[in-house]
Amino acid sequence: MVRVLTVSPDRPGACPTISDALEIASDGAVVSIEAGVYREALHLAGRRITLSAAGEAGSVTIDGEGAGRPTIGCAGGEVVLQGLVVKGADHPAVQAAGGRLRMEKCTVAAGYAAAVSVTDGARLDAVEVTVTGGQHGMVISDAGGTIEQCEIRDVAEDGIIVRLGADPTIRNCTVVNSGFRGMYVYQAARPTIERCDISATGDAGIVVALQSGPTIVDCWVHDTPGVGIDVGRGCAGVVEGCRTEQTARPGIRIAEGATTVLREGEAGGGRPKAGVSSGSSVGQDEQKVDELLGELDSMIGLEGVKAEVRSLIDEIQVNEWRRNAGLSVGAVSHHLIFTGAPGTGKTTVARLYGQLLKALGVLPNGQFREVARRDLVGQYIGHTAEKTSSVFNEALGGVLFIDEAYTLSRAGSTGGDFGQEAIDTLVKLMEDHRDQVAVIVAGYTNEMAAFLDANSGLASRFAKTLEFENYSPEQLVEIVGRIARNDDYVLLDGLTDGLLEWFGQIDRDQNFGNAREARKLIEGMRKAQSGRLRALGRMPSRDDLRTLVLEDLLVATR
């Protein structure tokens, strides 16, 4: 049996630091780390160990910026990192020399060093890893492995470096906003680079030099001041089916003396699937899609919303079939507007929508980032654009959910015109990254109409508006019953009729909380039950402790 060690600075019996857990961890153990920031630098020599976030990916940060060495340094052994945020300074955030390193759903950043460095025959398997800064994104030297569905952005120099005979497979990755080259392949390296999206570099997209022989297939290089793909003298390999747009001419340059084979791709409409948003490497997880749609169907009410979500999913699946058949597929926005009263399931549906997009291969991780006005609007001119951009970048690859979005518009704003600055910044970011994120704005129906008028291009960024209607009294009674069952309570006969009568007479104005009213009522009934049981003068039975009665409802609603 695999031994699991828990790390938590607060939980009794848990290890307070990751280093403490590693000291007692046996070979093959899993170190499960609870949410928080851990200011440590870890050296794993010859270890077979898994470090995993106990909660959602991104909930655990390991910060080694002040350590003067790599934040996580591996030498030999077999190390697995799952769901971690790893920060370094002037040393790599993650470094592996020899051995095997697997990274899953991690976010990595460094200062003036590579975010991830792999050397000395090591094997790196990286899946859904995001690099958000560093001198270089990933450096693969004399090493191999598979780098899949990863994103490297905002690095100072080269996005990915492959050198010294290294032969990794780099598939469905995105490199954006690197200060020099997107990918640099040199010193006899032989990587396979498939369906990658390279853009917004400081110079060329992909550069091949010094006797290297890569296989570059179905990549999309665009918006670079240098040439798209530049192969130097003495190099070999294959460049096949690649597309370059808005680069220096020629888009693909093969130097005299190179033996690289240049082949056109297969005929067919639409651009090649490329980058983390393509989903080609993992395809569509139909079983997961069906499971998530079943979860959506199990929600009480919301019949119109369920139908709209299903139609969106159907369109995405058909577009994927068209793309695989070589047919053109138009640009599709995944941004949505949710309108309606509070407590009608908007946040829950937004989370499910993000997970559905991940299962369909549209978004790489489906993570959910919920924000409000205070998270986007700054206190002085220029601060708002910076805050909004930062929040938006953190949500890339998943869903950005903006609750009460109408408070950003001038009419709903109480802080000068800074809310308008947030809206204008969002409009541009949503267009620039429409394949990398789903933005969902939510709020009351009338107020959201005014919000959409705040910027002439705002309404056109959204694919559809989903209206969340108030729950009927019968549905609210069903919600109370479900909450009660989940909390291990039962409703005595006759209580259901009382609940139906109560919900039928409540005013349903703009402030009606719907499912929140149901939860609030259950809490009131539990408190009433507690007082009733204390007054019995005896120890209540197990049935007494589980049962809510009409008297509890009358006390809670008095």
Of the listed ranges 96-100, 202-206, 243-247, 300-304, the least confidently predicted one is: 300-304
Average pLDDT over every residue of 73-87: 95
Question: With bands split at pLDDT 50, 70 and 90, how would you rate the model's confidence at 147?
Answer: very high
Of the listed ranges 88-97, 251-260, 476-485, 510-519, the least confidently predicted one is: 510-519
Average pLDDT over every residue of 503-531: 82
The pLDDT score that the predictor gives to residue 268 is 40
Return the percentage of the chain with pLDDT > 90, whole number.
46
CA pair distance 465, 100, nearest whole angstrom: 47
Average pLDDT over every residue of 350-355: 89
Q: What residue type is assigned to position 292 of the chain?
A: L
CA distances from 482 to 306, 491, 546 (A): 19, 10, 14
Three-state secondary structure readout of 513-543:
CCHHHHHHHHHHHHHHHHHHHHCCCCCCCHH
Do 306 and 423 sit in the same domain of this protein?
A: yes
Of the three residues 257, 280, 303, the one that is the final residue of a domain is 280
Residue 157 has pLDDT above 90, yes or no: yes
Rounded to 5°, angle at Cα 540 from 537 and 542: 175
Do 157 and 193 sit in the same domain of this protein?
A: yes
Do 164 and 125 sit in the same domain of this protein?
A: no
Do 381 and 419 sit in the same domain of this protein?
A: yes
CA distances from 325 to 244, 270, 322, 329, 506 (A): 22, 11, 5, 10, 55
The pLDDT score that the predictor gives to residue 518 is 85
The pLDDT score that the predictor gives to residue 281 is 39
CATH no. for residue 313? 3.40.50.300
Question: With bands split at pLDDT 50, 70 and 90, how would you rate the model's confidence at 118?
Answer: very high
Helices (H), 336-417: 346-359, 373-376, 383-395
Q: What would the two tokens of residue 9 be?
A: 């600075």
CB of 399 closer than 8 Å to CB of 440? yes
Whole-model pTM: value is 0.54
CB of 274 closer than 8 Å to CB of 323? no
Do 404 and 300 sit in the same domain of this protein?
A: yes
Q: What would the two tokens of residue 347 be?
A: 């946040």
Of the three residues 280, 307, 332, the one that is the final residue of a domain is 280
For the CA atoms of 447, 449, 450, 452, the dihedral, rounded to the nearest 10 degrees, stands at 130
For all residues of the chain together, what is the average pLDDT? 87
CA distances from 446 to 70, 335, 494, 510, 543 (A): 53, 19, 39, 10, 47
Residue with tokens 């993000």: 354
Longest dimension (CA), the chain: 97
Question: With bands split at pLDDT 50, 70 and 90, how would you rate the model's confidence at 24?
Answer: very high
Do 294 and 428 sit in the same domain of this protein?
A: yes
Of the three residues 240, 262, 280, the one that is the final residue of a domain is 280
Q: What residue type is assigned to position 545 of the chain?
A: L
Residue 257 has pLDDT above 60, yes or no: yes
Of the listed ranges 27-41, 189-203, 444-458, the least confidently predicted one is: 444-458
Do 422 and 359 sit in the same domain of this protein?
A: yes
Q: What would the two tokens of residue 204 be?
A: 């060329």
CA pair distance 346, 299, nearest whole angstrom: 11
Domain total of the chain = 4
Q: What 3-state DSSP class applies to 31?
A: strand
Average pLDDT over every residue of 220-229: 95
The pLDDT score that the predictor gives to residue 282 is 45
Do 346 and 484 sit in the same domain of this protein?
A: no
Q: What residue type is assigned to position 302 of the chain?
A: L
Residue 330 has pLDDT above 70, yes or no: no
CB of 176 closer than 8 Å to CB of 200? yes
Of the listed ranges 113-117, 145-149, 366-370, the least confidently predicted one is: 366-370
Do 177 and 201 sit in the same domain of this protein?
A: yes
Do 357 and 331 sit in the same domain of this protein?
A: yes
Residue with tokens 């050397």: 119
The pLDDT score that the predictor gives to residue 326 is 62
Do 370 and 334 sit in the same domain of this protein?
A: yes
* Residues of the domain holding 526: 473-556
CB of 39 closer than 8 Å to CB of 12? no
Do 423 and 525 sit in the same domain of this protein?
A: no
- Cis peptide preceding 214, ω within 30 of 0: no
CATH no. for residue 503? 1.10.8.60
Question: With bands split at pLDDT 50, 70 and 90, how would you rate the model's confidence at 277?
Answer: low
Q: Are strands 490-491 and 547-548 parallel, antiparallel or unpaired?
A: parallel
Residue 280 has pLDDT above 90, yes or no: no
Q: What would the two tokens of residue 550 be?
A: 């009409």
Give 389-405 pLDDT, tens digit per residue: 888 888 888 889 998 88
CATH no. for residue 7? 2.160.20.10
